[in-house]
Amino acid sequence: MFNQYFGNFLLNKGYISPGQLTDALEYQKSVHLKLGVIAINAGYMTPAQVEEIHNMQKRVDKRFGELAIEKGYINEAQLNEMLATQKQGHLMLGQALIDRKHLTIEQLQEALESYKKESGMSSRQYNVVRKDDTEQIEQVFQNFGETMLGKMYSDYVTLLIKNMIRFIDDAPVVEINQMKSDITAQWYASQEIGGKIDLHTAIACDREQFLILASKFAREEIKEPDELAQASVGEFLNLHNGIFLVNMSNNGVELEMQPQQVKENYTYKNPGKAYIITCHMTWGDFDVIIV
């Protein structure tokens, strides 16, 4: 998100320390209201109905409010009211830094003006999730020479961002590049997709990020890369790919998934036409490979 780009800029320019950025991001998370909580607080939905919608999101690529309306739990007016409440309760990073007294308002203004001039974003990095993200990401793949499959790759990455927000963390930033060489990872979760189009998909990360990713998806602390950790990371990839296949089927392309595999200290040989999506999270980086 913008928070991550701007936060890195503030760190590089010495406006704030890593500890202050972490504190502000954590503070911001504490005041970001989820629609489910707002719906319960307003008396529009019961906890059981909210849980039902969250489970539905594991199967289909739809927003919370959209599904709640389809189920008849809320109406459009109530959703608009909830969205307005959510926006009012969400502090931007700059406001959080001021509230936590890490920056004065004058320092923030100076930093923002400097940030706009330098525009520190890479041309191949994108935040989430604006209406034109898919078109922008598709353009990246077209720049790599992907004319036939560019739309499919962009849909895969856009959905990946959405699913990271839904199930892992609400502040991902992705960077898309061609894979130039083999990749060796401490932990490598992969899944083959076949049919009209063949895809190799994988998550590659070191031990620390593997455990954090597993813990966040499992919603419990996992301290060792044991069977539970491996199953959690593999299931996140499987869940994401499953929703992707539903979307592809809706567009008339039928695909099938093979069971996911998780390997330790694995080297993936670059086949010559692969893409690596580096996911920058507040707690570290991991890579998603699509071939």
Domain holding 183: CATH number?
A: 3.40.1550.10
Domain boundaries, position 12: 2-118
Nearest to 279 by CA among 144, 131, 172, 123: 172
| Domain identity same for 86 and 181 | no
Domain boundary residue among 65, 85, 118?
118
Q: Per-residue pLDDT for 118 more than 70?
A: no
* Cα–Cα distance, 236 to 148 (Å, whole number): 27
Give the residue with greater pLDDT, 160 vs 273.
160
pLDDT band with cut points at 50, 70 and 90 for residue 40: confident
| Domain identity same for 9 and 107 | yes
Per-residue pLDDT tens for 57-104?
A: 999 999 999 999 999 999 999 998 888 766 554 456 787 888 889 998
Q: Per-residue pLDDT for 7 more than 90?
A: no
pLDDT band with cut points at 50, 70 and 90 for residue 256: very high
Farthest CA pair distance, the chain? 57
Which pair of structure tokens corresponds to residue 115? 């940030």
| Domain identity same for 144 and 225 | yes
pLDDT for the residue 120: 40
Residue 131: C-alpha distances to residues 39, 135, 281 (Å)? 25, 9, 22
Share of the chain above pLDDT 90, in %: 52
| Domain identity same for 93 and 129 | no
| Domain identity same for 281 and 216 | yes
pLDDT for the residue 192: 97
| Domain identity same for 166 and 108 | no
Residue 35, C-beta contacts closer than 8 angstroms, at least 6 positions apart: 64, 65, 68, 82, 83, 86
| Domain identity same for 100 and 221 | no
pTM value is: 0.70
Give the residue with greater pLDDT, 155 vs 86.
155
- Split into its structural domains, the chain has a count of 2
| Domain identity same for 146 and 183 | yes
Domain boundary residue among 67, 98, 118?
118
